[in-house]
Structures are given as C-alpha cells and as structure tokens.
Chain A
C-alpha cells in the first residue's frame, strides 16, 4: 500500500533566485532599521509571505514577521512592500522587493508591529455594542457589510497622516469600528457624537482606501457620516464661503488685483483671522480675472477629443495650469475644449453638506455625460476634482456608475502618458537644465495610478528630478486655512516642509494646488503644476 501524497507539495518545479531586501531592527540594540539583502529560491506563483517563510526556515530564524492564516483573514502579515502597505499573503513575490514594517505603529522587531494598542481606543470611547435586545426584523444597510469586511490589517493606519500626528484619535481603524456600530440597525445611531469628534481629525486624504485589501473604502463611508453630522450642525460664514469656491471666485475675480493686494496686508489678514477664523499664518490664494478658452485654428492630428475639466482653482486662481494643459493637448493634435460646469462639489463633501454636493454632482454629471456621448474624454489636472468624479460621485450620489463612463475620466498626467505609450505624444523636447523635486498629492495617490508626471518629466532632456516626496502637505483642502485646525495641519505638513528644505531645490512640481500653496508658504520654495515644465520644454 502506498502512503499517499499528503503534503508532498508537488509543483515546486522551476526554482529561480530572487533578491529581496528586508528591514532588520531590534530597538533594544540597534539605533535604527537597516535593509538587509536575502536571496530566496522563488517557488512558482510564490507570495511574499512564502518568501519570508523561506528566509526564516532556510537562512535566518531570528527574522521576525507576523502571519497567521495564510490568506487574507487574519490581517497580521500586513507590511510595507516597496513602500506600500499590503498583505504579504496576497502579494506576488517580485525580484528586488523591499519589505519594511508598517508605519505609525511601534515596531517589535524587524517587520512585526505591536498591535496590542488597538484595545485602547475601544476602551477609551466605550466602543461596545449595546442594543438592549435583538430585534425580530433587522436588515443591515450595505455600509454595514462593507465595514464588516475589515480584517484589521492596519494598512490604513500606516497610511494615515493624521494618525501619525494624533495617535489619540485612533485613525481610520478606530473610525471603522465606530462606523460599524453607527450603521448597525440594531444599535441605533448612538455613536454620532464620537464620530463627530473623530471626523474633526480626519483630513479626508483618502489614503486609508488606497491599500485596503478588502476595499472597505472607509473614506467614502466617512464622507457619508460627515453628511449626517452636518445635518445636526449649523454652518459658519467661513465654512459657507469656503465650500463655494466657484461663487467666491466669481465675486472676487472681477476685483482681483484690488483683492489680492488687500489680503497681502498683515493687518487685513489679522482682521480676517478674528472675524472669519481663517488663520493669518496660512497661505492665501491669489485671484485672477478671465476665462480659460481653447485656441482657434489648431490642426487636429489624432482622433482624440478632450474636454478639459476646469476646476475652480484653475479658473480663478491658477489659469496658467489650464492654459498650459490645453496648449500641450492641442499641440499634440488633440481637439481640446475647456469644460467648465462649475465646482465639482469637493468642498461641500469636505464640509459634510451632501445635499449641495449632490446638486453639483448631478449638474456636472449631466454635462459630462453629454460630452462623453459626443466622443470626448474628460481630463482633469486637479487631482481632487478627478478623485471626486471617479469615487465620490458613484458611491455617494449614484452618479457616473457605468464602467463605460468611468473609463473615460482621466487624470491629466495619466492621459498624456497613455498618449505617449500609443506613440501620440511629441516628445521632441527642448533641453531644460534644472534640478526640481516632485510631490505626490494624496488625492493622486488615492486614484491608484501611480505618479504619471514623474515618468513624463523623465522625457525632458536636462531636467534633473532630484527628489520625489510623498508625504502629506497637511493643507487637506480647506483645513489648513482654519484657525482651529491650523496647528494640526502644520504638524502634519511640517515633515514634508523639512524634507523639501533639506534637499535645497528651487522648484517643487505638484499636481495639487493646495500642495503648491502650502509648499510655497511653509517650505519657501516655488511650486507649480508639472504641466508647466512640459509646456516649457515644447519647441
């Protein structure tokens, strides 16, 4: 009788050698972490966890990492893989991978973080289910099941810029726990008060969604809850104004030069600070008159038609970015038109005024659909407008849900890069001798398309991309203006400012206008949209 084949693990045929770098750190004896190289024999279809187990078994069993279930249930194997948090069990091993522990959590040793702190916020806020009885009829809303998918891997905490500075707030992990109870029909809406103070700390950078292995997409749910909180609260004059950049833009742009010189005065800023609680130390945008228009008589050489989404900031504060974007598209033979349906609604969402945001979403979607129907691709240079149309419209407002519509909405950098890949981008650029840095905005990272401008900038001869930055600037839409949140905004943003100053660069390129403002104001380095560079390089 044969013995059967239990556990013989057939199928380990082809053995390749892979080199990976693993962060080694024992806080008791080392000053800081060091990356150590290991060569692993890669098993066909191997995952990162398989490689770690290999290192542990075959090379060095002092390596510490956590795992439990081997596939996506326990959440313990979450680490940073090439800088991005993710589960080692579901990530396919690649050569030259760098493996590090999650950020923002105490490291026990090497790749293992201490998760025991999770109990604290649960205790502190008395987060416990407290329904008196189980109702006979209880159907949970879809948000409940969505939240319940969370396997507590803590990738979201690793990404959260606010949690990094404000551990007490508990971060998205704690938000998920709160929201679970909030949405549970059996427990009522008892958690709203906690949620209100929680959402005050959340900067809506959406980084908690980016690496979530179960697509809990907490930032979308938190926007919804913010809407519920808003219903019970009044709105200040400042917040009312700040959530209407298009209206304010219209009013101010007609007297822009007067307004600009006025708010440059310290005394005026002081008055605004007191009256409106807009912090006098915060940056303030400049206003411009006029409208962005495409040029006439351009030769069309591709079939591409682009409706360039003119965001509020584009229109009233930074018309150069819109002009440059249209110029670059047109110069590459694209039929480009300026699409200006008004504000996308992002500031309303930030405030929690979902009714007003919904009206914006419906109006913008209507126009946008028409254009798509006419064969236009929608392209936005503003990363926030883009993220809102791609994620918030479908989830919060049931707009633009169809794949064929969604697939036609692009980020500017991504669109140009795709043109380049299709051989439709003229890259016969002038030489630009300059050292610059690039900052990845949170809402670009949230779109999970990488940083396309980093690739595009490499095509410009002579241009030296001396550093890339991906820390949050702390501006968080309108948060950085607000007196009561200015201090947190600074704490979140300071590490980026310090890093930028340390690199001694004279220009930082960033897709996001808020980041640019904050970088100029705090790091005292000039900052523009990267399309400016592309435009300058064109002959």
Chain B
C-alpha cells in the first residue's frame, strides 16, 4: 500500500546538513519531512573526528584567511563563491551547533579560544574546534524530535526524484521496515544524502550507508554534478586486521612535526612536518610508494610517531585524544607499545570524502528547479582536496543557508502536480525487484564492484584502468538489470536494499571514472600515473557531468581567474 504525503519541503538525509536544513526551514514556518535511510544522526556526521572550522578566533585569522586556505588547499578548483559563504559563516554555524546543545572543547579556563583549537593540515591558524562527534548527533536528534513541524521518516530509502518538465516535485521512498512505498510531494526537495565512501569498502572510513544515493538520483533526474573525479582518500587509516581495514585514524596532524613515514623496504620517505601537509599531499606521497610496490606486508606504510614523544604539544594532543579513547582500536589491534607511539603504526589511505557532487549556487540551489543540495551531497566548495574540519563547517553552513532560502522560496510557489502515471511507473520498478529470480546475489556483485573500484578507480589512476573499469561497469549494470536474485521478504529486505544501492553506486562509479578519465592531469586527490603533473594551463576548470537524452555528457566550467 502506498502512502502519500504533502510537505512544503522534503529533506533527504539526516546527518548534520539535512538536520540543519530541516531545523532551519521548520523554524522559518515551513512544514518539513526529514527522510533518512537510517535513524536520525546515524550517518557519517556521527563518525567524524568532530572538528569544525571557525574563523577569526585567533589574532590574525579571519574569514578571508580561511577562504584563502581552502582555495589553496583545494588546489584552486573550488568555487570561490561557495568557499566564501562557508568561510564567512563558519563561526556563526558553530553557534548554531552549540545552540542545539553540542559542546565544543574549550580551553582550561572554559573559554572558546585559540588555545582549545587545533591547527589541522593546510590551515594557517589553529581554528578547528573539536568535541565528540557522537554528541553532535545527539544534539541533532534532540532538536529534530522537538521541532514540531518536522515529520520524521526513518529507515526510508529514497529511490527517485519526481521530475515533471524542468522541475523536481518530490521523491519516492520505500519504508524498509514494511517495504511500502511513500510518495512525498513538496515544493522544494533537498539532497543531504552525504557521500559515497562505501564504493571502496572496506577501504573506507565511512558508514555503510554512504552509497551515493543523492548523486545517483540527481543524475537520473538530469541534474548537473561537478568535480566527480575528486574523491578524497584520508591518509591515515587502519589496514589490518580485516574487520578494521579502512577505519579512520587521524588527519596529517597525527604525524606531528617529527613523525616519519617508512616504506616496506624500511626507507624513510618523509621525516618531518608531515602535519603541515594537506591530506591530498600526504596521500599522494604514500600512494607513490605503495603503487611502486614498496608497501608493508599489510599493503600500507609505517607511521613512526616516536619522534613526537618529546614534543609537548603532541603529548597534549595524545592526552586529549586518549581522554575520549579515540585510538582504542590501535591499542587492540596494534598493541600497547604502538598505542603509546613506541612502535610504528601500519597505515593506509582510505576513502573518506567526496569533493564532487551536485552543482549548486551560493544558496544551495541545483541546476534543476526546486532541488537543493547541501553538505557532502553538494559539490564544488572543496575543489580538488578538502582541508580537515571544513566539512563539519560546510554541512551546517550549507544546511542553514538552504533552509532559510527555501522557506522564502516556497512562499512564492504553487505546488506542482506529479502525474499518477509517473508515480505508478516508479512504484512498479520497486515492486518488480521483490521476489526477482536471477543467478547473482546482490551482495556478491556489490563486493566484486567494490574491488573493481579499489583497484581501478582508487587513489592512483591511469587511462587504461579507468577505461577497463567503465566497460566492467557496463557489464555490471546489465547484471543489475537482469541477473539479480532478491527474496520476497517485505520486512527489511537487505537484498532489495543491496540491489538499489548497487544500482546507485554504479551510477556514481560511472560518473567518477568518466570524469577521472577526462581530467588528464594530476591535481589534489586526483592522481593519474599517465599524467603525473598538474597542468594549470589546460585544467584549471571543473568537469560538469549530466544526463542528457539518457546519455552521460561532460562539459567544462572554466574558472574565473579573478576569484583566485
């Protein structure tokens, strides 16, 4: 049985960005549906390091300096207008998060000062305020639960955006607990679906829900996406034992001023100031060694932190982290000595963040009428590399901005109709999956696909492997269409979920591989072995990708040099 609902605004995704958009829109008098594949606040916001950028707390720092850092860190591919908005509103977004009840770490006197902030890789000043990310999630849920005009749809997977003519008029969801369809009609729809780290499982720091739904359904609806080749691999993640592979350790800041990176042959490849490098720079350095076959037995490099044992600020860093048991898994997996920095850690880069995403204007509006994108689902602000702690700023700033913008926007708009034939066509596609017979179990194909991504569309890329990946993606898409077997269970059917996610993941993968093949240079997170150098003369431009007449097409967006 299908249920239909009418709202002013529907927000798809309930991490920091989605909740911020929903709360802001609701506070401004609109009726909001907050739709989430999981529970509220159960995604990547909860799993982050919890650090959020501010600007202007320390003398000499300002929104302008933060903007410059982000532009430089993004290797000048970022959209300056978006960066500007994030930089100017970062500090007020901190107040918004505090206002929901989250507590950012303060200094010994209880003040919000530079002493309590960290200086993460690529930042000119200590300006990142930490805390427990789980507590951000708590605060978000408390606030959502107590905001009257937000209706919550948990455990609901969105499969399609309803497009009529040139505008989006709502979305179709499936309540996973019953497998009933939910038609959500709205004047405005927000994609806050996060990223797609799970494309690289287990080589990812992400939650298992990060499967790129937002990118895929936006693409299918003909929306423009940008910078899809830019996938951030976080430099320091666990690489064994198997069940912890890919899980997050920390930023370049972890290496401190005296940390060393050592390859599998025992050669030191970097011995100081790794903490001043950006994530992309450290990952590139590591990738070079690893792809040249000089990895450790676990496929990574050794990170030797022992040099920092006489660096007071690093001991303080360790104390703060240990207070919240941040590195407990190191103690369990690598042992007590490693935990205390007396033995090196075996580390590998792990897929962490999608710089690319739905192309938006400074208000969060996409290229398609009535459709917004916020947080990681949106692209453009982070360019070719994201600096640490900027994403928590980004999710809240873009969420708040879009929330405000929508509440004005919808007042001037009539709700458009969604034709019954469109609705029943989409529901039919879902229904057809239940009980579908085929030779292939979805999870098997999913794992095969993830292996392909790690090997061919991962950190280090070349034309040959990317082309081969694209042809394998063709084959897998065909299998998804014709060969999957899905049980007919209606009560939370994960085979159904796998099948839908896999379809979306393949769409994301096709976009990533296509754009990666297109960009014939190396920049930021995008490393081409066949084009190892940065090429400002030809590639200071963004790749836009869009579905036109059921074909994937790319175009370019030249940078306005004056912005840089």
Which A positions have Cβ atoms within 8 angstroms of B? 1-12, 26-28, 43-47, 49-50, 53, 56-57, 61-62, 64, 67-74, 76, 89-90, 108-109, 112, 114-116, 118-119, 122-123, 126-129, 131, 134, 136-140, 144-145, 148-152, 177, 180-181, 184, 186-187, 214
B299 to chain A, nearest CB (A): 4
Q: 4 additional contacts, CB 8 Å, given A45-B241, A61-B498?
A: A11-B297, A45-B243, A71-B247, A116-B155
Measured between alpha carbons, how far is A209 from B524 in the docked complex, in Å? 47
Contact in complex: A7, B245 (CB < 8 Å): yes
**Chain B 497-525: CB-based contact to A (< 8 A → 1; otherwise 0):** 01000000000000000000000000000
B444 to chain A, nearest CB (A): 7
**Chain B 435-456: CB-based contact to A (< 8 A → 1; otherwise 0):** 0000001111001001100110
Contact in complex: A43, B444 (CB < 8 Å): no
B95 in complex: contacting residue of A45, A134, A180, CB < 8 Å: A134
Contact in complex: A73, B134 (CB < 8 Å): yes
Known: A1-B529, A122-B141. A187 touches B101 (CB 8 A): yes
Confirm or deny: B308 has a beta carbon within 8 angstroms of a beta carbon on chain A: no
User: Quick one: closest A residue to B295, CB to CB?
Assistant: A5
Contact in complex: B103, A68 (CB < 8 Å): no
Measured between alpha carbons, how far is A9 from B240 in the docked complex, in Å? 7
Known: A12-B242, A74-B47. A6 touches B299 (CB 8 A): yes
B207 in complex: contacting residue of A44, A69, A108, CB < 8 Å: A69
Contact in complex: B100, A57 (CB < 8 Å): no
A109 in complex: contacting residue of B100, B245, B489, B498, CB < 8 Å: B489
Measured between alpha carbons, how far is A184 from B102 in the docked complex, in Å? 10
User: Quick one: closest B residue to A46, CB to CB?
Assistant: B243
Interface band, chain B: 35 or more
Measured between alpha carbons, how far is A136 from B325 in the docked complex, in Å? 28
Query: Chain B contacts of A177 at CB under 8 A?
Result: 138, 142
User: 21 A-B contacts, Cβ less than 8 Å apart?
Assistant: A4-B458, A11-B240, A11-B242, A43-B241, A45-B242, A50-B243, A57-B443, A61-B442, A70-B208, A73-B47, A108-B491, A116-B39, A128-B143, A136-B111, A137-B110, A148-B134, A150-B138, A177-B138, A184-B103, A186-B103, A187-B101
Query: Chain B contacts of A144 at CB under 8 A?
Result: 103
Measured between alpha carbons, how far is A69 from B197 in the docked complex, in Å? 12
User: Quick one: closest B residue to A135, CB to CB?
Assistant: B110
Confirm or deny: B40 has a beta carbon within 8 angstroms of a beta carbon on chain A: yes
Confirm or deny: B177 has a beta carbon within 8 angstroms of a beta carbon on chain A: yes
Contact in complex: A128, B145 (CB < 8 Å): yes
Measured between alpha carbons, how far is A134 from B104 in the docked complex, in Å? 11
Give residues 108-162 of B contacting A (CB, 8 Å). 109-112, 132-135, 138-139, 141-146, 152, 154-155
Contact in complex: B243, A139 (CB < 8 Å): no
A328 to chain B, nearest CB (A): 40
A interface: dominant SS: loop
Contact in complex: A74, B42 (CB < 8 Å): yes
Contact in complex: B142, A149 (CB < 8 Å): no
B209 to chain A, nearest CB (A): 7
Contact in complex: A137, B152 (CB < 8 Å): no
B356 to chain A, nearest CB (A): 20
Contact in complex: A119, B40 (CB < 8 Å): yes
Confirm or deny: B534 has a beta carbon within 8 angstroms of a beta carbon on chain A: no
Measured between alpha carbons, how far is A322 from B95 in the docked complex, in Å? 60
* Closest A-B pairs by Cβ, 4 of them: A129-B101, A139-B110, A5-B299, A128-B146
Contact in complex: A11, B207 (CB < 8 Å): no
B462 in complex: contacting residue of A1, A26, A109, A128, CB < 8 Å: A1
Confirm or deny: B106 has a beta carbon within 8 angstroms of a beta carbon on chain A: yes
Contact in complex: B454, A62 (CB < 8 Å): no
Measured between alpha carbons, how far is A263 from B470 in the docked complex, in Å? 86
Query: Chain A contacts of B141 at CB under 8 A?
Result: 118-119, 122
Measured between alpha carbons, how far is A4 from B298 in the docked complex, in Å? 11
User: Quick one: closest B residue to A136, CB to CB?
Assistant: B111
Known: A5-B295, A116-B39, A122-B141. A49 touches B240 (CB 8 A): no
Measured between alpha carbons, how far is A129 from B144 in the docked complex, in Å? 11
Query: Chain A contacts of B487 at CB under 8 A?
Result: 61-62
Contact in complex: A76, B492 (CB < 8 Å): no
Contact in complex: A116, B154 (CB < 8 Å): yes
Confirm or deny: B494 has a beta carbon within 8 angstroms of a beta carbon on chain A: yes
User: Quick one: closest B residue to A43, CB to CB?
Assistant: B242
Contact in complex: B243, A89 (CB < 8 Å): yes
Contact in complex: A56, B443 (CB < 8 Å): yes
Measured between alpha carbons, how far is A18 from B389 in the docked complex, in Å? 42
Contact in complex: A70, B154 (CB < 8 Å): no
Query: Chain A contacts of B109 at CB under 8 A?
Result: 137, 139
Contact in complex: B455, A68 (CB < 8 Å): no
Binds A, one of B165-173, B268-276, B285-293, B409-417: B285-293
Measured between alpha carbons, how far is A312 from B350 in the docked complex, in Å? 59
Measured between alpha carbons, how far is A62 from B496 in the docked complex, in Å? 10
Contact in complex: B46, A73 (CB < 8 Å): yes
Contact in complex: B333, A45 (CB < 8 Å): yes
Measured between alpha carbons, how far is A26 from B492 in the docked complex, in Å? 10
